[in-house]
Structure formats: structure tokens, C-alpha cells
Amino acid sequence: MSSNLSTYSYSRNYKPQILYGTQNYRIGNELDSGCFSNVFFAQHNRTQTFVALKKIQLNGLDEKHFKCCIKEVELLNRAKSENVVKCYKLFFEESFSYISLEFADKMDLDKRIKI
């Protein structure tokens, strides 16, 4: 039984399509920062969606805090409410974790919050 390898093309220049990664975003100004993370205003290149892109430093992050980061994403994905920002994607690059979140500017939040 032989296979016909000539039917398959091979290219050394082949690059797989990367669906998630910082190269898929235009990253703008920093919106906020904390001990382990920074949040940037960004726009997804393909969908043109504005997002808040949270960048979390994984180096030096202990297991407890790493689990908290994963839990944050899990909870945001489960929350189906107009009062909670949507979590679009979680991806890892080098020593960072990135969370792509729905962007809600102050004007939008002021309209939604009823005191």
C-alpha cells in the first residue's frame, strides 16, 4: 500500500492562520493598570470591534493568582447579563495572558447605570 505524496503540496513559507494574538489587534492607549496587568484600548482587525485588551504578566505570578485569572475568564463567559462586560477571547503569548473584553466607555456605563 503506497500513498501518493505528490498530491500534497509543501511550502517552507507556509504560515498557519493565527486566529488569536496581539497581531490581530490595533492596540491603542493604556486605559488602566494594576499589580499584574495593564488594560489597553484596542480594535480587532477583522471585525473592527473595539475592545479592552487586558494584558496579564505571567512571570512571577504564583499558582493562586494564575487560577484567579482563569476563573475571571470562566465567570465572565458564564455571565449573560447586559450589566456585565462580555469576554471575547483568552489567549497566551510569550509570558503574557491576554483577555479580550467588551469595551464600555464612561458614557456607555453612565447610560446603563441607574442609581
pTM of the model: 0.72
What letter represents residue 90's amino acid?
Answer: L
Residue 42: other Cβ atoms inside 10 A: 25
Residue 16 confidence class, pLDDT cut points 50, 70, 90? very low
Residue 31 confidence class, pLDDT cut points 50, 70, 90? very high
In the chain, what are the domain boundaries?
23-108
**Distance from C-alpha of 76 to C-alpha of 74, rounded to nearest angstrom:** 6
CATH architecture entry for 23-108: 2-Layer Sandwich (3.30)
Instruction: Report yes or no: 39 and 54 within 8 Å, Cβ to Cβ.
Output: yes
Cα dihedral across residues 111, 102, 95, 63: positive or negative: positive
